[in-house]
């Protein structure tokens, strides 16, 4: 760009000089004061042309600098927007993971609460209590055991492994109660009666109708399984 401006300036100066030479030859100004005035005027015009070119170059440089600054600002704004988008995405992902974990935990609790107790041809639905002993018992399911008769109101089975005891005295036993006596004796009650013994509650059959008839008066095979 600078070379083109210099060439243009030189052409302009040469054109002016040629014009002046023609005028001087016609008017006889080679030996007079008019020639000196013409030379002075030519120098002034040349300096003006140079100043004009310099100003134009300065303006072009300023415009270039402004364009670069504008580009930098635009890039900074774009980077800020990108950072904001990434932060939002991370927050949403964090929220999604938290929700999924909560859902899984709730689903796990629901799976621990219900089981089937099958005696012969009859199946009863039972609800497990929310305690550590019941959770440990559920981990051993499914299992089929031979339960023994006792006192005309319960069936019992000694488990191979002890469970955590959280004994309490219920005062009243309800038909369908499933409890732990001591640390390893699983008891299924099929009659309602008062008691002074302590048990750890595991769960209960939701509808014990027909339970006494199903278990009978002797030993019986019982299957416990999560639903």
Q: Per residue in 49-104, pLDDT tens?
A: 455 444 444 444 434 344 444 444 444 444 444 445 444 444 454 444 344 444 44
Q: Does residue 140 share a domain with residue 66? A: no
Q: Does residue 194 share a domain with residue 146? A: yes
Q: Does residue 102 share a domain with residue 125? A: no
Q: Per residue in 128-176, pLDDT tens?
A: 999 999 999 999 999 999 999 999 999 999 999 999 999 999 999 999 9
- pLDDT computed for residue 116 by the predictor: 98
> What pLDDT band is residue 223 in, cutting at 50, 70 and 90?
very high
Residue, of 83 and 11, whose pLDDT is higher:
11
Angstrom distance (rounded) from CA 17 to CA 42: 8
Q: Does residue 216 share a domain with residue 128? A: yes
- Is residue 17 in a domain? yes
Q: Per residue in 103-117, pLDDT tens?
A: 444 444 445 589 999
pLDDT of residue 42 exceeding 50, the answer is no
Total domain count, the chain: 2
User: What number of H helices and E strands is found in the chain?
Assistant: 4, 10
Q: Does residue 9 share a domain with residue 81? A: yes
- Is residue 209 in a domain? yes
> What pLDDT band is residue 47 in, cutting at 50, 70 and 90?
low
Q: Does residue 204 share a domain with residue 128? A: yes
Segment among 44-48, 145-149, 158-162, 213-217 with least mean pLDDT: 44-48
The CATH number given to whatever domain includes residue 176 is 2.40.100.20
Q: Does residue 152 share a domain with residue 57? A: no
Q: Does residue 15 share a domain with residue 42? A: yes
β-pair partners for 193: 173
> ∠114-119-121 over CA atoms, to 5°?
110
Q: Does residue 136 share a domain with residue 85? A: no
Q: Which domain holds residue 165?
A: 120-226
- Is residue 112 in a domain? no
Q: Does residue 21 share a domain with residue 102? A: yes
Cis peptide before 142 (omega within 30 of 0): yes
Angstrom distance (rounded) from CA 133 to CA 136: 5
- Is residue 61 in a domain? yes
Among 72, 107, 142, the domain-final residue is: 107
Q: Does residue 56 share a domain with residue 102? A: yes
Among 79, 107, 135, the domain-final residue is: 107
Angstrom distance (rounded) from CA 208 to CA 174: 9
Among 107, 132, 164, the domain-final residue is: 107
- pLDDT computed for residue 112 by the predictor: 54
- Is residue 114 in a domain? no
| Residue 173, φ and ψ in degrees, nearest 5 | -95, 135
- Max CA-CA distance within the chain? 153
Q: Whole-prediction pTM value?
A: 0.53
User: Is the Cβ–Cβ distance between 219 and 147 less than 8 Å?
Assistant: yes
Q: Does residue 172 share a domain with residue 81? A: no
The per-residue pLDDT of the chain, averaged, comes to 72
Structure tokens at 59: 């303006």
Q: Per residue in 170-195, pLDDT tens?
A: 999 999 999 999 999 999 999 999 99
Residue carrying the six token digits 């981990």: 139
- pLDDT computed for residue 113 by the predictor: 80
């Amino acid at each position: 760009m600078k070379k083109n401006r210099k060439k243009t300036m030189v052409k302009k100066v040469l054109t002016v000089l040629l014009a002046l030479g023609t005028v001087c030859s016609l008017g006889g100004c080679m030996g007079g004061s008019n020639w000196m005035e013409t030379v002075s005027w030519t120098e002034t015009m040349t300096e003006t042309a140079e100043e004009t070119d310099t100003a134009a170059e300065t303006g072009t440089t300023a415009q270039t600098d402004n364009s670069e600054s504008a580009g930098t600002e635009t890039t900074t704004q774009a980077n800020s927007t990108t950072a904001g988008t990434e932060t939002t995405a991370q927050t949403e992902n964090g929220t999604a993971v938290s929700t999924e974990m909560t859902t899984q935990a709730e689903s796990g609790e629901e799976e621990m609460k219900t089981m089937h107790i099958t005696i012969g041809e009859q199946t009863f639905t039972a609800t497990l209590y929310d305690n550590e002993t019941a959770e440990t018992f559920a981990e051993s399911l499914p299992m089929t055991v031979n339960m023994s008769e006792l006192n005309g109101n319960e069936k019992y089975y000694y488990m191979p492994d002890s469970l955590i005891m959280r004994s309490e005295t219920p005062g009243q036993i309800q038909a369908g109660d499933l409890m732990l006596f001591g640390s390893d004796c699983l008891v299924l009650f099929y009659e309602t009666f008062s008691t002074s013994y302590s048990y750890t509650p595991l769960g209960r059959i939701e509808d014990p109708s027909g339970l006494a008839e199903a278990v009978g008066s002797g030993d019986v095979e019982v299957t416990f399984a999560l639903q």
